[in-house]
Structure 1
């Protein structure tokens, strides 16, 4: 949630800073892009480090990074300085969530793994929703700087809890072959009645010396699943960021404000759909094939986008279609994260999740820029929404190809040995 708050908070401050600095609002486009680009670079670079140095250590470093550079934002006095700080804060934001997902997945019982990963990923949209609510109380009293102070102080307060209570992955430590006493201490908390005296813990994962975390993403035919997850997440985040960045602006053209539904309310409807979709797919994955559910979720998004394009002039139906798109994209995002958390073996899990999210950031950058380009080109609303169907169809087709291969890898004998 704090990650989501610090990711979205610049959107609340930008209009105020534009007025203070006498800059056009369009000048803040590079600021948004710098944060997203930093998140992409952070996910690419920090995932392999987490697989080599440990998830907990990298998660703590990432938290310190984005909290300190969020605090430093209160001293900026130019757009160029803001771009630089948002990029570095984005590095930390990009590395934190993959480590959290990897840790969660490795401590979860397999039957609840998808659900708990889905609940974890709901923190980001919930943090984004809280940003708007908190701004109503903080900005009138403390100005835009109060938002960045809050976003910087909160994660620093959690650091002591992370150092004390957050354990590193026992599978990761067993794979390294060291810290046997630490593994026993953690597992006694998991299962107090188990006698672990004189027990040596081992992992049946593949040695990093022979393959490495990056090589594991492509070895043994795994490249098929890796590329499928990359493409699906890219297409999905393209639509998500198009909606989250441009839906309030498009709301006026939808004439929903005349029907009593404001742009901010329409955004909340979309984010609510994302949250419900994320949790729903986590529950369904306990009983149904994960790859098929992700394929159905992204296909559902395409159907509701077609409906939104067809009923763009009807405010009530348009709002229902927006909620439906949120259900589909939220389910797809949580589903992809859950599949990635199970698909990759321990020695490459943080890298696999990080690179899935990093490739998705390319889609988020495209989606953020595309809205402005389409508006400047005076493309009609129906055409805009129906044009977004194309990436969702591509994602559906890719997951259709992965559904059998991914399930064999996740549920078959080789996967059970690797986990």
Structure 2
């Protein structure tokens, strides 16, 4: 049954109901801009440090990266909570507007202090974008395809990262670091109007808020079923975010947070410092930026495979396998190989490392009911941001001490192993339901 083309619905008051096909591309593009913005600092840092831009030192570069990640942590925690109360649509649009404006402003920073403050404020929007977009695509995904929907939308992050690395190779030396931040902000001028006009509100979220008639209108138009959950979950949901630490859920939550900590440590440690670590291994700047690009190309391929595997064997089992694969490959990067061989190893490492973290998100999304889904994702991303902060700090510390190569890779390999170990302590939503009976 299709609603009238002019039917009012809760996506935006009197907005026109549109095709379901718009949801995933709009969320994917928002995550692409998130990926571009989150990786842009790692792409420009080598040039900024080499040329003394803004008078920046390695320690200050680490501090700026850390400031942005602290902002992301706060943004993920706050916006995940607000998304479960105010709606997926409003918060996703707000997140894109916030980080795009502040990214643009960073290009005009007069000194390192202002640059760091703007990166912190942009981080608030960046932190809120991922949990909101993942909650949205999970709830619009076809039944049994939640993990694949999560990993596919996260390919946007890595396409953004690949674009950042590729554009940086062409732009930074020719024009300077400022142009990268301007380029990262401009696409929002097109994306935000499209989101306002075409992005609906999730019927699962509407139903979780007691807005059943609106939820049915949207669900019928988009050919969806509204998600149902057990009586025990309904009772637990009445206390909101405290459900995550309620008996039965607490062990899962803590394990998810640990795995997310380890996964984001790897993602941000490598994206921030891989070019510099490879320079420490005596590769030139062009090849070092190439490694960052290839790492994220591998990530895109890994996500395309990981989601399909996770829908077949559960995101929990897939996540464990991907974390352990990451550990082996990261340790292998310490082996000196010819240039072609090391590029192949970096590609394979990207295939496993970044999917590991996204499989944590996939597990979180499909194993929490709608009323707390964005909160659970926000907590996973927010607590995990402590790992994201630790990654650049560890990389920067090892670089400063002259130990980044090869010990940085061994340290990151240990982190991957710990992430896989943490996921072995989780249970699926079905197992938790059975346990509560």
The residue number in structure 2 matching 1:273 is 298
1:85 CA displacement: 1.2
Alignment of 1:182-331 (within 5 A): 182-191=214-223, 206=234, 210-212=238-240, 214-255=241-282, 262-309=287-334, 311-312=335-336, 315-331=339-355
Over the residues paired in the alignment, what is the CA RMSD in angstroms? 2.9
Seen in structure 2, the aligned counterparts of structure 1 residues 129 and 222 have a Cα distance that, compared at 3 Å, is same
> Distance in 1 between the 2:76 and 2:119 partners?
15
Instruction: Work out whether residues 276 and 330 of structure 1, in 8 Å CA contact, stay in contact via their aligned partners in 2.
Output: no
Are 2:430 and 1:408 aligned?
A: yes
Instruction: Work out whether residues 165 and 290 of structure 2, in 8 Å CA contact, stay in contact via their aligned partners in 1.
Output: no
Alignment counterpart, residue 6 of structure 1, candidates 31, 34, 37? 37
Instruction: Work out whether residues 291 and 407 of structure 1, in 8 Å CA contact, stay in contact via their aligned partners in 2.
Output: no
Alignment counterpart, residue 377 of structure 1, candidates 397, 401, 409? 401
The residue number in structure 2 matching 1:88 is 121
1:264 CA displacement: 1.8
Structure 2, gaps ≥5 residues long: 1-31
Seen in structure 2, the aligned counterparts of structure 1 residues 111 and 97 have a Cα distance that, compared at 3 Å, is same
Q: State the TM-score, normalizing by the size of structure 1.
A: 0.86
> Distance in 1 between the 2:146 and 2:273 partners?
33
> Distance in 1 between the 2:86 and 2:135 partners?
13
1:414 CA displacement: 9.2
Higher helix share: 1
1:34 CA displacement: 1.0
Deviates more, 1:35-44 or 1:133-142: 133-142
Deviates more, 1:98-107 or 1:270-279: 270-279
> Distance in 2 between the 1:299 and 1:20 partners?
39
Seen in structure 2, the aligned counterparts of structure 1 residues 207 and 107 have a Cα distance that, compared at 3 Å, is farther
Deviates more, 1:237-246 or 1:86-95: 237-246
The residue number in structure 1 matching 2:183 is 150
1:362 CA displacement: 1.1
Instruction: Work out whether residues 135 and 147 of structure 1, in 8 Å CA contact, stay in contact via their aligned partners in 2.
Output: yes
> Distance in 2 between the 1:35 and 1:59 partners?
19
The residue number in structure 1 matching 2:372 is 348
Structure 1, gaps ≥5 residues long: 195-199
Q: State the TM-score, normalizing by the size of structure 2.
A: 0.83
Are 2:198 and 1:165 aligned?
A: yes
Instruction: Work out whether residues 217 and 223 of structure 1, in 8 Å CA contact, stay in contact via their aligned partners in 2.
Output: yes
> Distance in 2 between the 1:201 and 1:328 partners?
31
Seen in structure 2, the aligned counterparts of structure 1 residues 136 and 255 have a Cα distance that, compared at 3 Å, is closer
Alignment counterpart, residue 104 of structure 1, candidates 134, 137, 140? 137
> Distance in 2 between the 1:10 and 1:242 partners?
12
